[in-house]
Amino acid sequence: MGRGMVRGQHGRAGWRRIVATRHRGRSGAAGRAGQGGSGVGGETGMVTAELAVGLPGLVVVAVVLAWLLSLGAAQAGLAQAAREGARAAARGEPTTSVRAAVHRLVPDAVVVVRTRGEQVVVTAQLRREPPMALLQPLARDLAASATGWRERP
């Protein structure tokens, strides 16, 4: 409690005085005439400057994290599109219908359909560019493949 006082001895006013004394002791310059302290124009400007320096870094980190999340979502969508294409190819639909099935889910995808005997393989590829020129090294080529067996009529 500090300075040998118990909370109940001096009532509320005494408790506030102890707390104020402790805080004044920590800040160093608070309460002294002619020195900055935490009053007007003291540390307030320093906090603003630190925020101005740190905020762009936080924005870049947030944009990179959002970009990585969008890459994961695009990969999941590409895998789903490849599965849809493989189902269509397994039913015996023509290649144009298989590509259309993939393009319904991922319009910009490049679709490759291969057949090996009774097996069909559909591969969907996509190039993702980041939203900022600063992040160009994070551009990625995504790909997903799905395999199916031809159905017999």
What would the 3-class secondary structure string for 63-92 be?
HHHHHHHHHHHHHHHHHHHHHHHHHHHHCC
- The pLDDT value recorded for residue 110 is 95
Question: Over the stretch 78-111, which tens digit does the pLDDT of each residue have?
Answer: 999 999 999 999 999 999 999 999 999 999 999 9
Instruction: Give the pLDDT score at 29.
Output: 47
Q: Give dist(CA 139, CA 137) in Å, integer.
A: 6
What's phi and psi for 52, nearest 5 deg?
-65, -35
pLDDT in tens, 9-67: 555 555 455 555 555 555 444 444 444 455 555 566 788 888 888 998 899 899 889 99
Strand partners, 124: 111, 144
Q: Please tell me the predicted confidence (pLDDT) of residue 91.
A: 93
Q: What pLDDT score was predicted for residue 60? A: 85
Q: Which residues pair with 126 in a beta bridge?
A: 142
- Res 33: pLDDT: 47
Q: Measured on CA atoms in the order 51, 54, 58, 64, is the torsion positive or negative? A: positive
CA distances from residue 53 to 38, 47, 64 in whole angstroms, order as listed: 21, 10, 18
In this structure, the strands spanning 119-128 and 110-116 are antiparallel
Q: Give the predicted TM-score (pTM) of the model.
A: 0.64
As given in the structure block, the two tokens for residue 34 are: 């002619």
